[in-house]
Structure 1
Amino acid sequence: MAGNKLINNRDPDFSDDSASSGGDEAEWLDVEPEEDEPLAIVSLLDDSVFPDVMSMLTHCKEKHGFDFLALRQRLGLDFYGTVKLVNFIRQQIHDGRPLPETITLETIADDRYLKPVVDDDALILSLDELDLDDSDQEAVPPVADDVSREDLAALNARLAEELAAVNSQFADYRLAVEETLERRWGDDKRDATTESDEAKDESQYYWESYAANEIHETMLKDTVRTDAYRDFIYENKALFKDKIVMDIGCGTGILSMFCARAGAKAVFAVDKSDVIEKARANVYQNGLSDTITCIKGRIEDIDLPVPQVDIIVSEWMGYCLLYEAMLPSVLYARDKYLKPDGLLVPSFATIWAAPVSDPEYITDHVSFWDDVYGFDMKAMKTGIYEEARVEDLPPSTICGQPSQISHLDLHSVKPEELNFRSDWQSEVTQQVESIDGFLIWFDIFFTRSRQETIPWGTSVDPSSPDSKIPSAVAFTTSPRGPVTHWKQGLLLVDPSKGILTAEKGTRVSGEIIFEAPEENPRALGISMSWTTKDSERRQTWKLQ
């Protein structure tokens, strides 16, 4: 995955704002149904759609052997009990779990089943089509031939009261559902103070940014990325055959479908973003619903219907590898679900840093502000040396030997080790006027087993004669490789504290720190110190 709120000056055609908002805006247009449009009743047990409740229930009984009305009658459910039963069934099917052999009142006792699983569930909105006045009320005795007029009047009054109570219950619940729908369509006018007091997911913006099509189109068209996963999975079908696989952050479902086509017995595709609904449709359209189960939610908040999985596949990488902080979720799933000999796909990641000199870039994007059509706009340079940039620099801009700063064995690395500090050193390899900044990139390795390791210093640099990859599949985001949507992270050196000069052969060394800020764990802070024979400096940049 990749972030979508970063400076990206060399790719004007890709707008991150459009990825995070434009697509959503388009999707919300013309969604409100016409007033007289009939509701479509989605089956409780599959994706079939029906014009009324009874035809749907008949379908469930004839095709799946599930008699909803008989179960409701056996449990003696009133209106709210019926709502709980509907939502319990919806939740089980949504989570990919089979219904219990015996459903009891205790099974649906939790009040959380009063909350609709499907916000606009036409079945719940149409429960008035069912005869709900014979639920858990005291059974009405048959009327004897010699019943008195007074007794008959009392019986009629009681039935009228019970019917009124059921209608009132339904009206209250319909109102609650309508309020939920209003909030969904953005029509809720609740007091701002009340809303600000509600607990919010601090990462909600992150999930929302992945609901639009543009960002997924960008990632899918990154052939370096997508081909690597496809090639590893398809070239190692023996690893996937009859295995249980989990895909974390499944997005459109592409990796899950690769695994299913490779012979996986079951694939659980998990994503918190609303894109999961499109993934579910993609899976269905490609005839893979029997193998792939799509589950919406954070991996930390859901329970899989299986205790363990054989393989975890995930495309969790962000800019500079660790931006977006998705890897901790993968490690959480690894520790909770992956079998002791299970495989993580990919298995290893390394991070590299190198000094760069690019006078043309500085002229185009920094000095540019000194004179804009004859106007001094130096004010626009405020903060320009504090934020990391995402760029694809030419290989010729690298003016020193790359230095490896991190080596992650994903089968054993701990979440706390993702905030790290590392020594680095480089030797300037060409004569340059100044070192303008430092470039960060990463390499990714796919291995066939835990026994296959990637030693420290292994590079995927296609131009290096020492590049020997003991791995089935690997790729790099280095400028010396094909461009990827991750590009590289560019850390510009602030010249106000002195020009960083270095002759060919000069050794530059220091320390680099990667750390996610507490106030925004999805962001990334990078600090670097460096020493040459002439100077000693430290600078900090932000990815946010």
Structure 2
Amino acid sequence: MAEYTNPHCDGVADEMPELSDGEDEDIEDEELWQCMDEDGSEPTKVTCLFCDRLLSSVPATLQHCVVEHQLNLVGVMRKHNLDDYGYIKMINFIRSTKCDAACLAGLPDGPLPWESEDFLRPVIQDDPLLQTDPEDLCGGSSLSACQSSGAKSHDAQEQRVQAAEDALTRSLEDMQKLKLLVQGLVMNADTGRPGNLGTVAELREDEDEAYFSSYGHYSIHEEMLKDKVRTESYRDFMYRNPEVFRDKVVLDVGCGTGILSMFAARAGAKKVIAVDQSEIIYQAMDIVRSNQLEDKITLIKGRIEDIKLPVEKVDIIISEWM
């Protein structure tokens, strides 16, 4: 950070308690935060990232994280060279996962846990931490960090909002493709004809592209979903052996997008209980509704060993992360 002087900031560092590591960088950060507090804006309540404490401003929150949780967020941003999007994802990751401060301090230089575009979606509405320009926090322009124009800050906020809206639009588009794909797999199979392992070759180019592109940010399910031969083999077995599933209670462990659950329901199962711990289950709920199978399929989020099933026993257990 470049050295600067400001008559409004003189003596601030002396009034602040000395940090435990005693590094000059942290002292400079304290001075910068204090300067930012003097821009005349009304105080905003900010919820700490790691506890329930409410702070009076973003700088106060960052200082609280250093003193109480031994984590310098500015240092984390600098270490991993976070841009605006990376900063937004980091804040939303911390709030959504409620991770410990020590976990962030020990992150290696490899892939970061908040790289998914899902973390562009705010956890707290109008989160003051997301309305702050990361460049100001990092002191990218020394004195201008204390005296930056309102227009620049407003433009940065608009860019972050636009990025979040674009990410949401892409997610909705992918979700629509996912619905159409699953509906085709579940509803359009001819259960009376012999199996055809050449289905992949019969796909039109636009169908093939939609199939693969739909799962770009559902990477944990991508391997199975790309294997159409295996997916359709499950479907064909269930549809051509309805006596196995007719009037049975089926438990789908790790249901993923819910494809196996819908196959079982279409094959005649009386009730299907689908369980998954991951966030994909919310997409599965939407897909089940769009295929009008919500009266037969009950979806539960949680670990199978932790949840209580709505029935005492089941007749069939199926499990494949799809």
Answer whether TM exceeds 0.5 for this pair.
Answer: no
Structure whose alpha-carbon radius of gyration is higher: 1
* TM-score, L = length of structure 2: 0.35
* TM-score, L = length of structure 1: 0.21
